[in-house]
Amino acid sequence: MIRFEHVTITYPEATSPTLFDVSFEVPEGELCLVVGVTGSGKSTLLRAVNGLVPRFSGGVLSGSVVIDGRTTSDVAPRDLADVVGVVGQDPAAGFVTDYVEDELAYAMENLGVAPDVMRRRVEDILDLLGLHELRNRPLASLSGGQQQRVAIGSVLTAGPRVLVLDEPTSALDPAAAEEVLAALTRLVHDLGITVLIAEHRLERVVQYADRIVMVPGDGRPVVVGTPAEVFGESVVAPPVVELGRLAGWSPLPLSVRDARRVAGPLRDQLASVGTEVFSRAVRSLGDVVATTDSLQASYGPITALRGVDLEFRAGEVVALMGRNGAGKSTLLNHLVGLREPAAGAVQVMGSVPHRLSARDVVRVAGLVPQDSGVLLYHDTVAAECSASDRDAGLVHGTTRTVLDRIVPGVDASMHPRDLSEGQRLGLALSIVLASEPPLLLLDEPTRGLDYGAKQRLVEVLAQLAADGHAVVIATHDVEVVAAVADRCIVLAEGEVVADGPARDVVVHSPVFAPQVAKVLAPLALLTVHEVELALAAASDSSYS
């Protein structure tokens, strides 16, 4: 169905090709997962399927991409619309119309589908994706998960044989992600659609995949195979696979169910070790850095926060979790003074953030927003660093020193846009950290990061907490919460529904529990690293 033959793609002004000599084939009716580290060219590969690369991106494509017997160099993307449906990373950026129904019908109108057929197909897709309650809603009023489903529906109505999705769940909370993936597997199984999907959070999708295309990104050839084959040696693997490797299970388990079936002996072995080694060394907590007192916030008639009372202390890493639209970003914005509370109070280091001048607020609280790129608008890394020193009135070179500590070896003459996702986040983080705010806030910092970059981020955050910063991360990524958070707050509909030690909050939740916890329940172990430590302790005690 999809065939890449010796495809090499070079963007304009790039010194080396983004993809080099890629050849693979995806047969009809398969769900094929594209994996690779950040910046390895996954998005480029996906966008090449219907010719958006190079037609809308510039650059040169050599070799050929054949889709359903048609070569993309001969056919414009619009003429492939009935064969390939593409959903980009940000669904809202691709919306053309204003209402859900119109958006679903848009592609069919362009294809000239007869009105009665259109009517029927829209109804079918509304049912298939569970959108019927939203049919008359303006697109702007939908939550992230709903928008993602509408975006998928809007390409499905055209009846494509191939569906291409770029990180369809990266912006979604765990429950909404499940919803989207369940819809996708239904499409593959019921309609025989071929799906090509890129995703960083492998733990969410790997069990559904028939085939994996791994793009290493460092010039080595792509690896294609079944999940078990590819993950035998892959540098990126979901926690359950890592656990399988650690325990030496063969074949490697891909889902929690597979792993649980073989994990009995491991559980017994771990249960024999005392529980005290499981818990992370508790950081000593310092003074209260920030408080909110019955904080309320609203957007027009909608209440975003309803009476939130919280306290953040120096030296702790707090994870803020909850559905899309539960009020996590709103809370962060209030803590950094971007918004004025509708009622109640916010205090950071004894002052009210929204009353402080921009220059003073960065000394008490720093926020790295969801799209960290918006913080960067100079044309070189060096210019960003010196501008940051100037803005905050710091000694020249401070930001660069922080940057070298977080991500060493970033080329000072590079354009921030050309940095990898992880490097860009590091740069944004160091600009915020340069003035050493006691309260550090991060909104969805792991979006678009691969496991390696996430691991480095986790180390940086742990170090910052040890240095006495209060770190608050709003995130959907349960694995990161498991790895770094001391305390977890769950928000729902603008209210705090859970607030306690991260281990207690996440371990028994079917939605928020990380994979390792699900495999090893009832043991309260959260990460592969913890299992490793526990095993080491177990072997020590057996020798003594």
Partner 1 sequence: MGADAQVSMTAPRLLHPGAWWLWAVALAACALRTTNPVLLCLIVAVAGWVVVSRRADVPWSRSFASFLRLGMIVIIVRLVFQILFGVRVPGTTLFTIPEVTLPGWAAGVSLGGPVTVESLMAALYQGLRLAAVLACFGAATSLCSPYRMLRALPTVLYEAGVAVTIAFTFAPQAIVSSRQVREARRLRGRSDRGVRAWTASALPVLEGALDRAVALAASMDSRGYGRRGSSSASVRRRSIGLVLLGLVAIAVGSYGLLDPGAPALFRIPALALGAVALLGALVAGGKSSTRTRYRPDPWVAPEWIVSLAGFVAFGSFVIVGRLGDALSPSTNPLEVPAVPFVAVVGLLVGTLPAWFAPHPPTLASTAAPLVVAA
- Contact between residue 146 and residue 154 where contact means Cβ atoms under 8 Å apart: no
Q: Does 12 bind partner 1 (CB under 8 A)?
A: no
Please, which residue, 34 or 80, has the CB nearer to partner 1? 80
Q: Does 282 bind partner 1 (CB under 8 A)?
A: no
Please, which residue, 102 or 178, has the CB nearer to partner 1? 102
Please, which residue, 252 or 392, has the CB nearer to partner 1? 392
Instruction: Give the shortest CB-405-to-partner 1 separation in angstroms.
Output: 19
3-state secondary structure 239-275: HHHHHHHHHCCCCCCCCHHHHHHHCHHHHHHHHCCCH
| Residues 160-179 within binding reach of partner 1 (CB under 8 A) | 171
Question: Contact with partner 1 (CB under 8 A): which of 42, 149, 204, 328?
Answer: 328
Point out which span in 19-27, 257-265, 288-296, 328-336 binds partner 1 (CB under 8 A).
328-336
3-state secondary structure 486-528: CEEEEEECCEEEEEEEHHHHHHCCCCCCCHHHHHHCCCCCCCH
Q: Does 106 bind partner 1 (CB under 8 A)?
A: yes
Please, which residue, 127 or 540, has the CB nearer to partner 1? 127
Instruction: Give the shortest CB-144-to-partner 1 separation in angstroms.
Output: 6
Q: Does 39 bind partner 1 (CB under 8 A)?
A: no
Point out which span in 251-259, 406-414, 430-438, 517-525 binds partner 1 (CB under 8 A).
430-438
Question: Contact with partner 1 (CB under 8 A): which of 23, 62, 71, 110?
Answer: 110
What would the two tokens of residue 65 be?
């991409």
Please, which residue, 101 or 210, has the CB nearer to partner 1? 101
Please, which residue, 21 or 90, has the CB nearer to partner 1? 90
What is the C-alpha separation between 298 and 73, in angstroms, rounded?
50
Q: Does 158 bind partner 1 (CB under 8 A)?
A: yes
In the block, residue with structure tokens 């009020």: 327
What is the C-alpha separation between 328 and 335, in angstroms, rounded?
11
**For residue 187, what is the DSSP state?**
I
| Residues 359-398 within binding reach of partner 1 (CB under 8 A) | 359, 361-362, 366-367, 369-370, 374-375, 377, 387-388, 391-392
Question: Contact with partner 1 (CB under 8 A): which of 6, 27, 28, 115?
Answer: 115
Q: How many residues bind partner 1 (CB under 8 A)?
A: 88
Question: Contact with partner 1 (CB under 8 A): which of 2, 31, 46, 142?
Answer: 142
Question: Contact with partner 1 (CB under 8 A): which of 7, 45, 65, 108?
Answer: 108
Omega of the bond prior to 253 within 30 degrees of 0, cis?
no
Please, which residue, 15 or 357, has the CB nearer to partner 1? 357
What is the C-alpha separation between 457 and 36, in angstroms, rounded?
18
Instruction: Give the shortest CB-272-to-partner 1 separation in angstroms.
Output: 44
What's the CA angle centered on 48, arms 33 and 212, to 5 degrees?
15
| Residues 70-89 within binding reach of partner 1 (CB under 8 A) | 76-82, 84-86, 88
Cα dihedral 78, 79, 80, 83 sign? positive
Instruction: Give the shortest CB-354-to-partner 1 separation in angstroms.
Output: 10
- Contact between residue 208 and residue 224 where contact means Cβ atoms under 8 Å apart: no
Point out which span in 18-26, 66-74, 319-327, 462-470 binds partner 1 (CB under 8 A).
319-327
3-state secondary structure 437-466: CCEEEEECCCCCCCHHHHHHHHHHHHHHHH
- Contact between residue 101 and residue 122 where contact means Cβ atoms under 8 Å apart: yes
Cβ burial 126-139 (10 Å sphere, 16+ → b, else e): bebbebeebeebeb
